[in-house]
Chains A and B, each alone.
Chain A
Amino acid sequence: MSLSHPSPVRKAKNSIAYVVMGLAFVVACVPLVSILWTVIVKGAKDFNGYFLSHSMRNVSENQNSGGAYHAILGTLEQVGIAAVITIPLSLLVAIYLVEYGRGRLAQAVTFFVDVMMGLPSIVAGLFVLSFWLLGLNNKASGFAVSLALLILMMPIAIRSTEEMLRLVSPALREASYALGVSKWRTIVKVVLPTALPGIVTGMMLGIARIMGETAPALLLAGAAESINPNVFQNPQGSLPLFAFNESQNPSAFAVNRGWAAALTLIILVMLLNLIARLIAWWKAPAASR
């Protein structure tokens, strides 16, 4: 038998493997298409200006009315506060790990960032519950949700920033040192600007990830049907929580609102993902595009 012509059995196995792997990709696309399709079709029914600009105040669950404004506002504020705290903090931690950390502390921090990476969102919620609510006797509020979200965003932000900082060529740092520039100025003026697009991408993916977290809001946000712009006091709405609560209701109108909330959430998350990826692609060196 010649070598260039494998036996029919081997050929058949080869083709079967090809088909099976291609099918696996198709199988994975089925739920994706189904999810996006259902959310768009069912969500579009209620998704309009009224839905986006009104709350559920004085709206009963089986009424065909009301909207998600209180929830959208709540989610944006909670995620915004979490991001404002997380971004500088995780930047500093990543800088410490890449530029300063050598000894035990750096090892410990790396280990615990890994641990935080695997922390289930409900456990982050439980921690804030036992610390902020039960321990310090605060009431449910948007800020409590922010605290849980920042615990979830921190490891993602640190890890991605760390990776980007490590990609910065040591030659750049050495060139800066050679000019007599101090270490902190080198980091701020040379290292960070070089890694900036990658860092921004990582942060935005982190924000997109925490925006869809329902579990912490379920434990910490309290029940809110009216608009509450104050994150520090009184229960505040949350978009994923709103989608969850509406879907648990037997009324068809409530379920429709749930789908519309899901659509709003998906649009926000996908938009963040898209912008993040565009920044990464736009700033990437031409060779890796």
Chain B
Amino acid sequence: MSSDTPPAVAEAQDEAPKSSAPRSALTAKAGLGDRIFGGSARGAAVFILILMAAIAGFLIYQSVNAISKDKVDFLTSFTWDPDGNTTANGDAEFGIAAIAWGTLITSALGVLIGAPIAIAIALFITQYVPRTLGTVFGYVVDLLAAVPSVVYGLWGLLVLDQHMSGVSKIIEDVLGWIPMFKTNGTYGSSIFTAGIVLAIMILPIIAAISREIYKQTPREQIEAAYALGATKWEMIRLAVMPYGRSGVTSAIILGFGRALGETIAVAMVLTSVPGLVTRILQPGGNTIAANIATAFADAFTTGRQALIASGMILFLLTLLVNYAARLVIRRSAKKAGA
């Protein structure tokens, strides 16, 4: 610091970056009101941490209780009978392999169907439609996010599923030589139906985030593409889509995370069938979340704890997925900064 700087200013400069204590700019000492207010804000923040720790702690405690009673490998077994209703000696036997598979396949199907449509909508709204109309269209798509999941379930079960047998039959006729698309002659209430319901449910999330990102495409890049003689579609491929790639990728991952945890809609649409279900067009299948919803009512102590253990796995799964989404964003931010 140069010696001709007035001491008061020097002090202020020194303190500015590290001043985290609640105080006003002018008074040297924080007043009582400031201390109380700042303290309660801090307390609320600490409460969030305690809450998360409590969530993790209680889930782990109950899960460990359940898994210690498990007679088969929790991670690889296909059966779900924690209360020992059908096992020899009434032993608890449960594993999450089958329902974890169901969770992943339905969510993957949802993303596979929903994400391309969501991205196309985001491009349509930001690039093709006039701005005011785009806002209105955006609201319309956002309305899909406002529909409660139990309504999706009701609609999926009683309306959508009736139309699924025709579509499923066509798919089987064309792709039936792949084991996955073979059926036993019945259709509907299937993993495929659940995938479509999930696709509709995550579509507004992916569309909304993508829309915000595409909207920010730098004007110069768009005009540069046009100056090279690009058509509108070529401009989108040259300027808009590369600009939004990482943001849209993370939006898709976030949508996948939302699909993993969806409970009621999937529980209502799927006919739960014990064991591993690989045929996606015929009735049957189960997910971790749907299994909790359907098995809870008949579960006793061990049964409930086992369901909590499966919820714990679901929690870890969504945590991992959300972390991946954040990683994608951070990587691209670093690249842009460099």
Give the B-binding residues of A (Cβ under 8 A): 3-4, 6, 10-11, 13-14, 16-18, 20-25, 27-29, 31-32, 34-35, 38-39, 89-90, 92-93, 95-97, 99-103, 105-106, 108-109, 112-123, 126-127, 129-131, 134-135, 151, 154, 158, 174, 177-178, 180-188, 208, 211-215, 218-219, 240, 243-244, 247-248, 255, 258-259, 262, 265-266, 269-270, 273, 277
Structural contact, B231 and A109, CB atoms closer than 8 A:
no
Q: What residues of chain A lie closer than 8 Å to B49, measured between beta carbons?
A: 105, 108-109, 112
Taken together as a complex, chains A and B put the C-alpha atoms of A95 and B48 apart, in Å, by: 14
Which chain B residues lie closer than 8 Å to A118 at the CB level?
254, 257-258, 261, 318-319, 321-322
Taking a contact as CB atoms under 8 Å apart, the answer to whether A89 and B120 are in contact is no
Interchain CB contact under 8 A, A25 and B151: no
Contact of B263 among A23, A24, A113, A122 (CB under 8 A): A122
Question: Quick check: is B171 within 8 A (CB to CB) of the other chain?
Answer: no
A134 to B160, CA, bound (A): 38
Does A183 contact B141, Cβ atoms closer than 8 Å? no
What are the residues of chain B within 8 A of A265 when measuring CB–CB? Answer: 148, 150-151
Which of A93, A117, A130, A262 is B45 in contact with, Cβ under 8 Å? A93
User: Which A residues are in CB contact (< 8 Å) with B101?
Assistant: none
Nearest-neighbour CB distance to chain A for B148, whole angstroms, equals 3
B328 interface hit (Cβ, 8 Å) = no
Q: Is the CB of A25 within 8 A of B46?
A: no
- Of the candidates A99, A208, A240, A273, the one whose C-beta lies within 8 Å of that of B150 is A240
> Within the complex, what minimum Cβ distance (angstroms) separates B187 from chain A?
19
A20-B120, A130-B61, A244-B268 are contacts. A120–B154 as well, Cβ < 8 Å?
Answer: no
Q: In the complex, are the beta carbons of B263 and A120 less than 8 A apart?
A: yes
Known: A24-B124, A108-B49. A100 touches B38 (CB 8 A): yes
How many angstroms from the CA of A10 to the CA of B234 in the assembled complex? Answer: 8
CA distance A11 to B233 in the complex (A): 9
Over the window 1-41 of chain B, the binary record of Cβ atoms lying under 8 Å from chain A Cβ atoms (1 yes, 0 no) is 00000000000000000001011111100110110111011
Query: How far does the alpha carbon of A109 sit from the alpha carbon of B152 in the complex, in Å?
Result: 33
Q: Do B33 and A182 touch across chains, with their CB atoms under 8 A apart?
A: yes
Q: Which of B43, B125, B296 has the most CB of A within 10 A?
A: B296
State the CA gap A4–B125 with chains docked (Å): 26
User: Are B319 and A96 within 8 A (Cβ)?
Assistant: no
Contacts of A187 in B (CB 8 A): 37
Taking the complex as formed, is B304 at the interface, i.e. its CB lies under 8 A from any CB of chain A?
yes
Closest approach, in angstroms, between the C-beta of A51 and any C-beta of chain B?
16
Check if A38 sits within 8 Å of B261, measured CB to CB: no
Q: Does B139 contact A (CB under 8 A)?
A: yes
**Taking beta carbons and an 8 Å cutoff, which residues of B are in contact with A?**
20, 22-27, 30-31, 33-34, 36-38, 40-49, 51-52, 54-55, 58-59, 61-62, 116-118, 120-121, 123-125, 128, 137, 139-141, 143-144, 146-155, 157-160, 200, 203, 207, 229, 231-234, 236, 254, 257-258, 260-264, 268, 289, 292-293, 296, 304-305, 307-308, 311, 314-315, 318-319, 321-322, 326
Q: Give the CA-CA distance A118 to B250 in the complex, in Å.
A: 13
| Contact in complex: B289, A28 (CB < 8 Å) | no
B12 CB to nearest chain A CB (Å): 13
Q: Which residues of A contact B25 (CB under 8 A)?
A: 174, 177-178
The 8 Å CB contact of A97, one of B45, B46, B52, B326, is B45
Decide if the interface of chain A is mainly helix, strand, loop or mixed. helix
List, in ascending order, chain A residues with CB within 8 A of B141's CB: 25, 28
Given contacts A183-B23, A243-B151, A243-B154, contact A123 B314 (CB under 8 A): yes
Once bound together, how far apart are the Cα atoms of A211 and B149, in whole Å? 11
Our pick among B58, B261, B322 for the contact of A130 (Cβ within 8 Å) is B58
Chain B residues contacting A18 (CB-CB under 8 Å) are 128, 232-233
A130 touches B308 (CB 8 A): yes
Chain A residues with CB below 8 A from B203, complex form = 28
A255-B158 in contact given A108-B49, A244-B264, A265-B150 (Cβ < 8 Å): yes
16 sampled A-B residue pairs with Cβ under 8 A: A27-B117, A35-B152, A90-B44, A101-B20, A105-B42, A105-B46, A109-B45, A115-B322, A177-B26, A182-B24, A184-B38, A188-B37, A208-B146, A212-B149, A247-B268, A269-B146
Q: Which residues of B contact A117 (CB under 8 A)?
A: 322
- Complex CA gap A96/B159 in Å reads 47
Contact in complex: B231, A215 (CB < 8 Å): no
> Separation in Å of the B2 CB from the closest CB of chain A?
26
B44 x A89 contact (CB < 8 A): yes
Known contacts A114-B326, A118-B319; A32/B144 CB under 8 A: yes
Is there contact, CB below 8 Å, between A122 and B140? no
**In the docked arrangement, what's the CA distance between A114 and B261, Å?**
15
How distant is A78 from chain B, measured CB to nearest CB, in Å?
A: 14
Task: Provide the bound-state CA to CA distance between A185 and B177, in Å.
Answer: 71
Residues of A within 8 A of B38 (CB): 100, 183-184
Residues of B within 8 Å of A39, CB to CB, are 151, 154-155
Contact A35 B45 (CB under 8 A): no
Q: Known: A25-B121, A95-B41. Contact between A212 and B321, CB under 8 A?
A: no
Residue of B nearest to A265 (CB): B148
In the bound complex, do residue B154 and residue A112 qualify as a contact, i.e. CB atoms below 8 Å apart? Answer: no
B124 touches A113 (CB 8 A): no
Tell me the bound Cα distance from A127 to B56 in angstroms.
Answer: 8
Distance A24 CA – B54 CA, assembled complex (angstroms): 43
Could you tell me if B314 and A182 are in contact, using CB atoms closer than 8 angstroms?
no
Question: Whole-angstrom distance between the alpha carbons of A177 and B27 in the complex?
Answer: 9
On chain B, the residues within 8 Å of A186 by CB distance are 24
